[in-house]
């Protein structure tokens, strides 16, 4: 039985772009031609910061050296501000499904390859417990490393086959599926259909199991299709 749906954050719960940060760096650099020819910030490796191995101050200094930007005491705060400005539109489709899953007894969780400065940008307290929010800088590992999914599984206290992973990157979903998790590559226009397919299949398997082990009437209340349940406001 599925117990948890684990969501990515950027491009899944909300849209995200490094464009504001890129524009800030392009305006600050003393060598624009070098900045453009080097690929701007698109070629910068954010992994050490997302793994919690360096601080925002250390990353800011690295970027300033790389991009010929004068570093000042205010630079880390400017970098933090521009990275936070990259948070875009929250996907209503995701929010809708998080509510529906919770109403059907499936808990929501999050695991994100996250920039620490973005902590607190997912404020869905009514459908997401604080203890179910996990990040790469806490775990010390990045998706698609299988160890990232094991980190989440161990803390949720469940089996891999009791988890759904929703992520916008195919390589992350491929890794999750290799461990036995259900996986969905996120698209706003199809997320509802994809989740319902998985849950309907899980429900059928539970009903079939009940039919051979205990009276079906004891199982049915917990294995109704997500489409057929009643939701507030429907």
Confidence of residue 183 (pLDDT cuts 50, 70, 90): very high
Which of left, alpha, beta for 183 (phi over 0: left; psi -120 to 50: alpha)?
Answer: beta
pTM of the model: 0.87
Per-residue pLDDT tens over the stretch 67-81: 999 999 999 999 999
Q: Are residues 173 and 191 in the same domain?
A: yes
Confidence of residue 234 (pLDDT cuts 50, 70, 90): very low
Q: Is the pLDDT of residue 53 over 80?
A: yes
d(CA 1, CA 48): 37
- Chain mean position to CA 84: 16
Q: Is the pLDDT of residue 99 over 60?
A: yes
d(CA 213, CA 147): 35
> Of 41, 63, 85, which residue sits at a domain end?
85
> Of 62, 85, 108, which residue sits at a domain end?
85
Q: Are residues 39 and 140 in the same domain?
A: no
Closest listed residue to residue 111, CA positions, set 9, 209, 33, 190: 9
Q: Is residue 123 part of a domain?
A: yes
107-112/4-7 β-pairing: parallel
Report yes or no: 67 and 79 within 8 Å, Cβ to Cβ. no
Closest listed residue to residue 8, CA positions, set 112, 162, 96: 112
Report yes or no: 170 and 8 within 8 Å, Cβ to Cβ. no
| Size of the chain in residues | 234
Report yes or no: 86 and 17 within 8 Å, Cβ to Cβ. yes
d(CA 129, CA 133): 7
Q: Which two tokens mark 194?
A: 């994809």
Q: What is the mean pLDDT of the chain?
A: 91
pLDDT at residue 207, as a whole number: 62
Q: Is residue 234 part of a domain?
A: no
Per-residue pLDDT tens over the stretch 120-173: 999 899 999 999 999 999 999 999 999 999 999 999 999 999 999 999 999 999
CB atoms within 10 A of CB 108: 23
Structural domains counted in the chain: 2
Q: Are residues 159 and 94 in the same domain?
A: yes
Which 3-state string (H, E, C) describes 49-94?
A: HHCCCCCHHHHHHHHHHHHCCCCCCCHHHHHHHHHHCCEEEECHHH
d(CA 150, CA 200): 25
Q: Are residues 124 and 55 in the same domain?
A: no
> Of 85, 102, 118, which residue sits at a domain end?
85
Report yes or no: 143 and 167 within 8 Å, Cβ to Cβ. yes
- Chain mean position to CA 106: 17
Q: Is residue 233 part of a domain?
A: no
């Amino acid at each position: 039985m599925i117990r948890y749906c684990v969501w990515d954050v950027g491009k899944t719960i909300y849209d995200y772009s490094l464009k504001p940060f890129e524009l800030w760096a392009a305006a600050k650099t003393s060598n624009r031609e070098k900045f453009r020819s080097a690929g701007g910030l698109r070629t910068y490796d954010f992994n050490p910061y997302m793994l919690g191995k360096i601080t925002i101050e250390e990353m800011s200094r690295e970027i300033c050296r790389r991009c010929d930007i004068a570093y000042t005491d205010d630079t880390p705060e400017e970098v933090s501000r521009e990275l936070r400005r990259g948070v875009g539109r929250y996907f209503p489709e995701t929010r809708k499904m998080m509510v529906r899953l919770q109403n059907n007894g499936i808990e929501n969780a999050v695991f994100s390859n996250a920039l620490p400065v973005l902590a607190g940008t997912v404020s869905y307290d009514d459908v997401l417990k604080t203890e179910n929010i996990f990040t790469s800088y806490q775990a010390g590992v990045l998706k698609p490393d299988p160890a990232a999914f094991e980190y989440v599984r161990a803390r949720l206290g469940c089996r891999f086959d009791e988890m759904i992973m929703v992520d916008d990157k195919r390589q992350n979903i491929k890794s999750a599926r290799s461990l036995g998790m259900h996986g969905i590559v996120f698209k706003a226009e199809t997320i509802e259909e994809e989740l319902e397919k998985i849950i309907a299949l899980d429900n059928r398997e539970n009903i079939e199991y009940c039919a051979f082990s205990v009276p079906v009437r004891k199982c049915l209340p917990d294995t109704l299709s997500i489409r057929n349940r009643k939701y507030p406001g429907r």
